[in-house]
Amino acid sequence: MRFVYALVLAVVLSGCFHIDSLLTVRPDGSATLRDEVTLSGMALMALMETEDDEGSPFDEAAMEARAEALGEGVRVASFEPREDGYTVVFDVDDVRQLRYATPEALGENEGEGPDGVDLSFGFDEGDPSTLRVLVPKPEPDDDKVEASDAAPEVDPQEQARMLAMMRSFFADARMTVAVEVEGAIEETNASYVDGSRVTLFDLPFVAVFDVMEANPELMGNEPPEPEAMLDELRAIEGVRMEGPGTVRVRFR
């Protein structure tokens, strides 16, 4: 399949049903990061097995490990586990030291799970202050197979069955990453702004499935190049994704 395959695979492997991350930045460059992770039914079953063997991955130790991976001066402020996931808030001394990565649902080490969102930040304190969010360019897939080695084409009926199955399991899956500033935004080049909040990524899978259902030709076997995949996603109504580059936010 094309872009939807990679996205669904990432959700399945991470075990996440919803990822909602909000970074709140203050005029002095300190910040808080709030992660809310909700699991799918399959991930919950895996979690129960993990609890039997190793204890729950939703504990203070796992959150402390994530805080360390996020960067220097990041620490856990609060942690609330739930039956279907968790909410955690991190204090960030200096947003310039933060290296954001999508949270993993089942306690994998940072960087060892499927590809997600990776962001770094710059900041100039002043009146107004300026926040910079560095959105990396997607890297090419070094493991991409040659067209001659690709799997045989799947017939239309099989494609329809695959799409129906994915929709039934993952239609409610969503990933959202946003930045909010304490104060008023005076100037920004961000694409998606609502008051003092800038949405960097908002990917509702139901919107992707709707497009796939209406355009079966998009379900080709050969995966697109990363930049082409990003363009395809950004063209979908309901999907909000910043392109590679630097998002600047001036606020006071």
Q: What is the pLDDT of residues 199-224, one digit of tens each?
A: 999 988 888 778 777 776 666 555 56
Q: Tell me what pLDDT residue 173 has.
A: 81
- Give the pLDDT of residue 112: 41
Average pLDDT, the chain: 80
Q: Per the domain annotation, does 21 fall within a domain?
A: yes
In a domain, 50, yes or no: yes
Average pLDDT over residues 4-12: 54
Percentage of residues in the chain having pLDDT higher than 90 = 43
Q: Is residue 227 part of a domain?
A: no
**Contact predicate 44/84, CB 8 Å:** yes
With respect to residue 235, please indicate whether it lies within any of the assigned structural domains. no
Cis previous bond, 57, omega within 30: no
Which tokens hold the place of 125? 């304190």
Structural domain including 90 reads 16-148+172-205+240-251
- Residues 137 and 197: their CA atoms lie apart, in Å, by 23
d(CA 149, CA 94): 48
> How confident is the model at residue 20, as a pLDDT?
95
How many structural domains is the chain composed of? 1
Could you tell me if residue 42 is inside a domain? yes
**Could you tell me if residue 67 is inside a domain?**
yes
Residue 197 lies in a domain: yes
**Section 48-71 average pLDDT:** 77
Question: Encoding tokens for residue 214?
Answer: 């209406």
Query: Residue 8: pLDDT above 70?
Result: no
Check residue 75 and give its pLDDT: 98
Q: Decide if 164 is inside a domain.
A: no
Cα–Cα distance, 80 to 74 (Å, whole number): 18
Tell whether the model's pLDDT for residue 108 goes beyond 70: no
